[in-house]
Structure 1
Amino acid sequence: MARWQPDAPGRLADAALDLFEEHGYENTTVIEIAERAGLTKSTFFRYFPDKREVLFGGGTVTGLLVEGIAAAPPAAGPLDAVADALDALGRTFFTVDRREFSGRRQAVLNANTELREREALKRIDLTASMIEALNRRGVPSVTARVAAKLGTLIWEIAYDQWIDTNNSEGFGPLARQALADVRAAGAVC
């Protein structure tokens, strides 16, 4: 692969995922990832601080969720603002062309304790970012915490369904269904 080709971060992520599947996360080096992508080690480190982060999108999902919460209609309640942000995430990030990569990525994460721990920390950061975004909308602290934690749960449910190869539904509709299911569960609890 020529070094001048565009989308170095995407190429690095694809190369890393391939190598993690072939040799295991622990047995893959940054140099191997860079070489597979047709890039240099220094190019790798320009985009990612370490080989773990190549699978975590550099905060893209968090940024999109925060933007989506901020862009929600002013009259939207806290959970509806989060749902609007999840819809936007489905339109811009969790697209059909990312489904296969995401499913493969999740399999690699599931096979490695260090990566599962990193994923858990990323979800904590995601929740904290949603809380802050809701606070900026004037949502009281406790309400923002509840809405953000429910939003993270909704995201997890929708994501797990979205990466399932037997499912062809888009992320946004799955998130809306998960929201309805969470609301229904809350009504009976």
Structure 2
Amino acid sequence: MSYTQGVPRSGAEARRRLQQAALELYQERGFDQTTTAEIAARAGVNERTFFRHFPDKREVLFDGEADLRAALMHEVAEAPEGLAPLDVLLHAFRIAGRILEENRPFSEPRLAIIAVTPALRERDLAKAASLTEAVAEALRRRGVHDRLADLAAQTGWAAFHHAAQAWIDDPSQNLAAHLSQAFNDLRDLTSNPIPGQAHAEV
């Protein structure tokens, strides 16, 4: 698919074209073999326009972090009173889940490309760490103790990623269902013994 048929009329359209062009090229050639000039050409813009929107070719797949951070912190803050920290996070991560679901044609191949590209996995981990800290801070503002807020945020983010991968593997259920299952599984880990454990010692 080529975008050379017309010059983008707005910055938002150029940004969208660049994201889609990068995704296609990374799928076709691999991340390491693709240049910013090639992404720009595929999108029908010049390379200067690429760098006006993105600092490098990794960041093109991580657009929207600031909006996601703001949404997560807002939802943690606005979650109903009386919820346990993990239930607060489940409430907040459903917002992130809706963002992924609304953009599944982009989200699914994006996750697959990140999974096989070390440079992108490194950036993904850095972004996840930043977002996890933001979520932990939002929990602390609700009165959750520092240590518990950090643990809850890290555990919740891991459950979110687990659910996102399950959703990619099994799209017969929506992401909200996979999220609920992941958080239920977390609770089971602390409440149910491992099957056969009672008979392990003789």
TM-score, structure 2 as length reference: 0.84
What residue number does 2:158 align with?
153
Give the whole-Å Cα distance in 2 for the aligned partners of 1:139 and 1:58.
Answer: 27
**Offset of residue 155 of structure 1:** 0.6
- What residue is the counterpart of 1:63 in the other structure? 70
Q: 1:160: Cα distance to partner?
A: 0.4
Larger Rg: 2
Shift of 1:143: 1.4
Q: Which amino acid aligns with 2:15?
A: P
Q: Does 1:11 align with 2:17?
A: yes
Which residue does 2:34 correspond to in 1?
Answer: 28
Shift of 1:90: 2.3
1:187 Cα deviation after fit: 1.5
Map of 1:117 onto structure 2: 122
Q: Could you say which residue in structure 2 is the equivalent of 1:177?
A: 181
Q: Deviations over 1:45-88 (max 9, x none)?
A: 22211100111124143332222212212332211111110122
The equivalences for 1:16-165 within 5 A come to: 16-59=22-65, 60-91=67-98, 93-95=99-101, 97-164=102-169
Deviations 1:122-174 (A, max 9, x none): 2111211111111122211011112101211111111101222x423222221
Return the letter of the residue paired with 1:120: L
- Kindly tell me the number of residue pairs found equivalent between the two proteins: 186
Contact 1:69/1:134 (8 A) holds in 2: yes
Percent identity of equivalent pairs? 39
Where structure 1 has 5 or more consecutive residues not aligned to the other structure, the ranges are: none
Counterpart of 1:115, as a letter, is L
Kindly indicate whether the alpha-carbon contact (under 8 Å) linking 1:157 and 1:178 is maintained by their aligned counterparts in 2.
yes
Q: Structure 1 stretch 61-70 or stretch 48-57: which is displaced more?
A: 61-70
Q: Which runs of 5 or more structure 2 residues have no equivalent in the other structure?
A: 1-5, 194-202
Q: Give me the whole-angstrom Cα distance separating, in 2, the residues matched to 1:46 and 1:79.
A: 39
Change (3 A) 1:40 1:78: same
CA contact (8 A) 1:20 1:108 kept: yes
| 8 A contact 1:90–1:170 mirrored in 2 | no
Measured in 1, the distance between the counterparts of 2:100 and 2:122 equals: 22
- The CA deviation at 1:185 is 1.0
Query: What do residues 68-120 of structure 1 show as CA deviations (whole Å, max 9, x unaligned)?
Result: 212212332211111110122223x122x422322211221122111111111
- Equivalent AA in structure 2 for residue 87 of structure 1: R
Q: Is the 8 A contact 1:102 1:163 kept in 2?
A: no
| Structure ranking higher on relative contact order (CA contacts 8 Å, 6+ apart) | 1
Q: Distance in 1 between matches of 2:179 and 2:110?
A: 20
Counterparts of 2:34 and 2:95 in 1: how far apart (Å)? 34
Q: CA RMSD in A?
A: 1.8
